[in-house]
Amino acid sequence: MQSKADRAQLTQEVIELFVSIIGFIPRNNITPTTNFVRDFHIIDDDLTCFMMQVKWRYKLKPTPEDWARIETIDEVIDLILAGN
């Protein structure tokens, strides 16, 4: 079972990755429930770059359907923890 501390640490790592890739959003504006498109109007290219970095960093093999349903940091964390 995944501890809350591990999830919290992973959340911080993913948020930092998101901020570093997107580049124009201040860290303090990002929360686990941040919706990439609705909250920040992230375009496809930036979001794809972020998702590819998540895929490589955490050695994921998600399906296109997995990616299509991800809209928040929490959903990225769920995907990572599922080991998909």
Say what the pTM is. Answer: 0.86
What's residue 1's pLDDT?
A: 47
pLDDT tens for 22-77 read 888 899 999 999 998 899 888 788 888 999 999 999 999 988 888 888 999 999 99
Type of residue found at 49: C
Phi, psi of 36 (to 5 degrees): -55, -45
Domain architecture of the chain: domains with CATH: 4-82 (1.10.1200.10)
C-alpha 14/C-alpha 53 separation (Å) is 10
pLDDT tens for 1-36 read 457 769 999 999 999 999 999 888 899 999 999 998
